[in-house]
Amino acid sequence: MILNLKLSTDSPSLLPDEWLDPLLRLAQVAQTKLEENLHKGHWRGCSTAWLLGRVHEELAEFQQALRAGDIEEIWREAGDVTCFLSMICDNQTRQKELLDAFVAQVSAGESVEPGDALLVGQQLS
């Protein structure tokens, strides 16, 4: 399944196609890389430290592809880097949402189980 990306119709982009085309290609490559690795499961159980380590590993592979001059491999490795960065962004967003919900619950005077605080703490680590 390839993404059918298009720009928002609410506000047309000021960017020319020659700038947008590489972004769309990278998104498609990243999606393909994720599909190839579906068997590995979701990243929400991965720590930020581990994901950052994978970013560094993938950047090293990206640099190797650059040195080799293999254009397709350059795109594939860029897709890997993109995937791991988006995983970190997704996890951080989810953690912030969990923390905000917990704080709202406490601020509203709702009862909170000790395990709830522990769960939020684990999600933030």
Specify the residue for token string 């795109």.
Answer: 75
Above 50 in pLDDT, residue 4? yes
- 34-57: buried (b, 16+ CB within 10 Å) or exposed (e) per residue? beeeeeeeebeebeeeebeebbee
Above 80 in pLDDT, residue 10? no
Above 70 in pLDDT, residue 115? no
Separation CA 52–CA 37 (nearest Å): 18
Query: What mean pLDDT comes out for the span 56-76?
Result: 98
What is the model's pLDDT at position 123?
55
Greatest Cα-to-Cα distance within the chain, rounded to the nearest angstrom: 60
Q: What's the mean pLDDT when you consider all of the chain?
A: 85
